[in-house]
Amino acid sequence: MRVYSKPSNSTRPEPASSTRPEPASAGRWSDTLKLSIPEKLACPIEPFLNKVTERVIESLHETAKNRLAAAREAAVDTAKSQEQSGQASSLQEDASAKKEKLTPQQQIERASFLAALTADSVHNAPRVDRNPGPGEFEKQAAAAERMPNRHLPAIRSIIRGYLVDFLRQTEEQIVPCNIVGGKLDTSAQRAYWEKQPSAKFWSAAGSGVFHSAFSYNKLYEVAASQRSVAWSALANIVKTSAEKFKELHREAFPGVEPQASVLNDHQKVLQIAIRHERPQRLGLPRAS
């Protein structure tokens, strides 16, 4: 990583010392950028990005497989329970009344999609040879199992986009931008950003919002227009990317606190995504 310092001919006084410099204001980025990473801790960016990207994919795939197994088991248990009790209709009504709780089938759909997105290879029906020789069926089946996952390049691109933005946030020490209410307490960073000009916040969070919007559109296409499935996959990608970035950044740059946040306002992301979506989505293949 390059370490920027103020030019020697500058007459501007040094800012007050702080262990956490404020984000750079829009329009003065090149003048105010101050990196806290010493040169002796610098490492090549590309290997770091590659390592984190692959760790994210591995973690996502393992999570998806575990969720898929659990969802299938829950589906079997639910079917047995309904059959034994004879209350299938009332159970369905209860499920519809609690829309926030996913049914086993919904869990299966989301886990299957995420698993298919992050698999190294996918099963593809082998081409049928009308006159196969000895062992040809086995060879074709084996070749089908080794078919590369055509969605992986897009998934890697989505993940790397977040990682690059996390690097920017870390080097500028940007106060976390995920200020919308949720399970985590974000009151401190929300209070900070409420005191800042809106342009300053958008300068810090805008790139992540646009990347989320375009990433969602890509996943929406792959998911054959299943909005909830695409959004679930994106949410998992964001969460896991942030977790792995922080973990591996601390290993590569000890003593430097990583910053990895995305504005968690799904309405804002969807508004931008819809404005930039492709006009035709029909006939797109599913990932699972």
In a domain, 42, yes or no: yes
Count CB atoms within 10 A of the CB of residue 34.
Answer: 18
- Is residue 7 included in any domain, yes or no? no
In a domain, 11, yes or no: no
Q: Looking at the DSSP assignment, which residues form a beta bridge with residue 121? A: 148
Instruction: Look at residue 139 in the predicted model and tell me its pLDDT.
Output: 56
Q: What is the distance between the alpha carbons of residues 188 and 282, in angstroms, rounded to a whole number? A: 44
User: Would residue 97 count as lying in a domain?
Assistant: no
Residue of 159, 76, 149 whose CA lies nearest to 113: 149
φ, ψ at 188 (rounded to 5°): -65, -50
Is the Cβ–Cβ distance between 177 and 263 less than 8 Å?
yes
Region at 256 (left for phi over 0; alpha for psi -120 to 50; beta for the rest): beta
Residue 229 sits in which domain range?
29-64+151-275
- Pair 159, 237: CB distance under 8 Å: yes
How many structural domains compose the chain?
1
- pLDDT confidence of residue 134: 55
Q: Are 108 and 129 in contact (CB under 8 A)?
A: no
pLDDT in the model for residue 253: 87
Residue 192 lies inside a defined structural domain of this protein: yes
**Residue 146 pLDDT:** 65
* pTM, to two decimals: 0.72
Residue 285 domain-assigned (yes or no): no
Confidence at residue 194, expressed as pLDDT on a 0 to 100 scale:
95
Q: What is the block-wise mean pLDDT of the chain (288 residues), using blocks of 10 residues? A: 42 43 42 48 79 97 94 81 58 44 90 94 59 55 69 96 96 92 86 95 95 96 91 96 96 90 93 81 42
Q: Which residues contact 59 (CB under 8 A, 6 or more apart)?
A: 240, 243, 244
213 assigned to some structural domain = yes
Query: Which H helix or E strand runs over 119?
Result: none
Task: Report yes or no on 19 lying in a domain.
Answer: no
Name the residue with tokens 């375009």: 214
Q: Residue 216: its pLDDT value, please? A: 96
